[in-house]
Amino acid sequence: VPELPEVEAVARDLRRALASAVIEGVTVHRWDVIDGAGRRCGALRLGGGITGVLRHGKQLALVGKDGSVLVVQLGMTGEFGVVPGRAPMIPHTHACWDLDGGRHLRFVDPRRFGGLTLLDGHEALAERWARLGPDALSLPAQWGEAIIHRRTAIKAALLDQGAVAGVGNIYADEALALAGIQPARPCRKLSKHDVAKLRSALCSVLRAALRSGGSTVRTYRRLGGGQGAFQAKLRVYGRSGQPCLGCGMTLRSAQVVGRTTVWCPTCQT
């Protein structure tokens, strides 16, 4: 389940693996995972190489030598692999780039919640990312002022990519646990102090996860198939029925805004 730390880990892997790589060709196995710019193979070659890998929230952008931009959303199960040419084909490979030296970059996504979007240039990317909220790693100080007026549960606001970009179910629960706030609490019942605590909890939990290479829960893999390590440090996610690490009370679980949500009934109010 790639969220901000996992996507950032992939971005760093890609920067290292694709530095000075040349794209010699592209094979698309499923056009329906690719959106935009006429869906031409030629355009997917990104001018023959990738000059940069950007990230905002959970979205990645591969910037081509010709200025074109390929936006990547990993969804639930999307992953990249850079493999030697003789590597066996694996199922659900939707696109495969031929790199210099016989290597391949492939995009694999069994569940197909992810996808690729080809944009004309940086302006279109800026426009797209302007529709997202601020990246969760660098929330502006005034972020709290907007959040506090929403009519939803605080968890819904955290999951709304237009409010803050990069948070999914795992880190929403983790940040709320760290901040001592119940997921179902209405935004309007949060004090300025609560929101400030939440902002710093988000930042610290995401940074800690990033240092561990993200959380591998079920499906997420790094570029070379490596796993993250942060799943061992999760306080609440996936621990329903187990004791709270703070007070020992049994962690509760319920559906909140349609998502499985875990919290401590005493530490979080």
Residues of the shown chain interacting with DNA in the complex, contacts defined by CB under 7 A:
1, 3, 57-59, 73, 75-77, 91-92, 110-113, 150-153, 156, 159, 161, 168-170, 218, 257-260
- CB 159 → DNA: shortest distance, Å? 6
- Which secondary-structure segment (H or E) carries 60? strand 59-64
CB neighbours of 103 closer than 8 A, spacing ≥ 6? 21, 82, 83, 84, 85
Nearer to DNA, 173 or 194 (CB): 173
Contact present, 202 and 154 (Cβ < 8 Å): no
Active site residue 259: yes
**Candidate list 55, 58, 155, 221, residue with the active-site label:** 58
Q: Which residue has the tokens 């795992």?
A: 170
Residues 6+ apart with CB under 8 A from 86: 102
The least distance separating DNA from the CB of residue 1, rounded to whole angstroms, comes to 5
Neighbours of 75 (CB within 10 A): 18
Q: For DNA, which is the closer residue by CB, 99 or 154? A: 154
User: Which residue lies nearer to DNA by CB, 10 or 21?
Assistant: 10
Catalytic residue check, 58: yes
Minimum CB distance to DNA smaller for 75 or for 214: 75
> Minimum distance between the CB of residue 135 and DNA, rounded to whole angstroms?
13
Catalytic residue among 2, 45, 235, 239: 2
> Is residue 5 annotated as a catalytic residue, yes or no?
no
Q: What is the largest CA-CA distance in the chain?
A: 58
Catalytic site includes residue 40: no
d(CA 219, CA 98): 25
| Residues tagged active-site | 2-3, 58, 259
